[in-house]
């Protein structure tokens, strides 16, 4: 099968940083950007240059120092924002500008207080303005998924005519269902004049827990690019999580016909760095990078794993750089798991001794919930089973 490579556009440092309490200093942004480049993302959106001098400096330094990755300057559809984004990204080896303006009626009425006609004109004018400076122009009609289809198609066609080369359709408030979101991409590709010569991009928020599913639906309906953040950080409940999307594609490559250029062995390190610098802890049960993602407590699962890893694991944690400690000893653990763990201490017991240790182990497991290696050593010690 001929697999299509998805463009991974990382917005951890722009949309991700909008997560409450996740603000980063410029030097922290540079550290993360260098790690994102090692991870193998295709595009980095390092911030919002017009937002503050620190943001401008961070985008400028990343444009100068981070190699082998395209840098995206983010701007409202306003000349002064575009000017700042053009200046901040000037030294990047490869760059694009990303312009946005709201398109949904609710945003037009209450936020912009403008008519569709006025917004359409601003979008046209600002894309034409930006095009004088940079060839690659990405345009986002914000709140695309709550925008009437007729107006959305009109706006997309208008900005393509002015020179936009990438159209991003954001599900700004995480409202779309996968089928609807996929259908929107199929319609834009089919019905918009000029859509055959541009790239389409998906940008999903996770308010209903559908960001990854929606992004996949877009990719299956012709999107070329996925906008993601590490650990899924972002406004409210966050954005499509890079590590989840990438591992869905890697694990179900044949079913999806897609690949990415991400280096899996850098995923865990990147996730830890972003969590630490943004002070955003990772939920224990978070797919791919959560503490429990590769730990197993049930005796039946532990037994299967000891016979063959793939019985209960669909991804290889070692490939992701996750430290390996798959078996958690507790009240659900079986004799086989206990035998395996004490063997790791170099202890082999006769059957009756193992039975006796197993009975004492279950008593401690009921009391303590989780039997640590220290607890286990103490249990063995009590009966003279020196490791
Ligand atoms: O969620 C959103 O609509 C955005 C756009 C500005 C791209 O982040
Ligand atoms: Zn967003």
* 3-class DSSP assignment, residue 29: helix
User: 237-257, pLDDT tens digit by residue?
Assistant: 999 999 999 999 999 999 999
pLDDT at 358 over 70: yes
Ligand 1 pocket member 142 (CB < 6 A): yes
Check residue 345 and give its pLDDT: 77
Is the pLDDT at 386 greater than 60, yes or no?
Answer: no
Give the C-alpha distances (Å, rounded to integers) separating 310 from 181, 301, 339, 341. Answer: 33, 11, 20, 19
pLDDT digits (tens, 9 = 90+) for 136-164: 999 999 999 999 999 999 999 999 999 99
Which pTM was predicted? Answer: 0.92
d(CA 252, CA 254): 6
Instruction: For the chain, give the mean pLDDT.
Output: 95
What is the per-residue pLDDT across 92-123, written as a single tens digit (0 to 9) for each?
A: 999 999 999 999 999 999 999 999 999 999 99
CA of 315 from ligand 2 middle (Å) equals: 29
The yes-or-no verdict on residue 89 having pLDDT over 90 is: yes
d(CA 189, CA 155): 14
Nearest to 220 by CA among 244, 241, 248, 191: 248
- Ligand with the closest atom to the CA of 144: 1
% of the chain residues with pLDDT over 90: 86
For ligand 1, what atom is nearest to the CA of residue 15?
8
What is the rounded CA–CA span in Å between residue 229 and residue 245? 10
Residue 387 is predicted with a pLDDT of 45
Confidence class of residue 62 from pLDDT cuts 50, 70 and 90? very high
140 Cβ inside 6 Å of ligand 1: yes
Q: Is the pLDDT of residue 383 over 80?
A: no
């Amino acid at each position: 099968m001929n697999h299509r490579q998805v463009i991974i556009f990382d917005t951890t440092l722009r949309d991700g940083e909008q997560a409450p309490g996740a603000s980063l200093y410029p030097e922290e942004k540079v550290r993360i950007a260098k790690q994102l480049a090692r991870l193998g993302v295709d595009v980095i959106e390092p911030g919002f240059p017009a937002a503050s001098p620190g943001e401008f400096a961070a985008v400028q330094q990343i444009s100068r120092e981070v190699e082998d990755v395209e840098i995206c300057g983010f701007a409202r559809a306003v000349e002064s924002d575009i000017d700042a984004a053009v200046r901040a990204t000037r030294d990047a080896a490869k760059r694009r500008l990303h312009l946005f303006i709201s398109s949904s009626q609710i945003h037009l009425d209450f936020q912009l207080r403008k008519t569709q006609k006025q917004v359409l004109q601003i979008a046209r004018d600002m894309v034409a303005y930006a095009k004088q400076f940079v060839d690659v122009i990405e345009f986002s009609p914000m709140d695309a998924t709550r925008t009437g289809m007729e107006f959305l198609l009109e706006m997309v066609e208008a900005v393509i005519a002015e020179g936009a080369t990438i159209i991003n359709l954001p599900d700004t408030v995480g409202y779309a269902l996968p089928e609807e979101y996929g259908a929107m991409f199929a319609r834009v590709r089919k019905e918009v004049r000029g859509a055959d010569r541009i790239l389409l991009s998906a940008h999903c928020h996770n308010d209903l827990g559908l960001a990854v599913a929606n992004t996949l639906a877009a990719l299956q309906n012709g999107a070329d690019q996925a906008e993601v953040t590490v650990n899924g950080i972002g406004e409210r409940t966050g954005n499509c999580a890079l590590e989840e999307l990438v591992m869905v594609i890697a694990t179900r490559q044949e079913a999806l016909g897609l690949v990415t250029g991400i280096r899996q062995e850098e995923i865990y390190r990147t996730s830890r760095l972003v969590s630490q610098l943004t002070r955003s802890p990772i939920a224990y049960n978070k797919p791919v990078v959560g503490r429990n993602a590769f730990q197993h407590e049930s005796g039946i699962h532990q037994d299967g794993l000891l016979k063959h890893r793939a019985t209960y694991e669909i991804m290889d944690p070692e490939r992701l750089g996750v430290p390996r400690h798959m078996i958690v000893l507790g009240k659900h653990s079986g004799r086989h798991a206990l035998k395996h763990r004490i063997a790791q201490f170099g202890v082999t017991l006769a059957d009756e001794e193992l039975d006796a240790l197993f009975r004492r182990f279950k008593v401690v497991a009921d009391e303590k919930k989780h039997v640590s290696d220290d607890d286990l050593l103490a249990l063995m010690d009590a009966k003279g089973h020196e490791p």
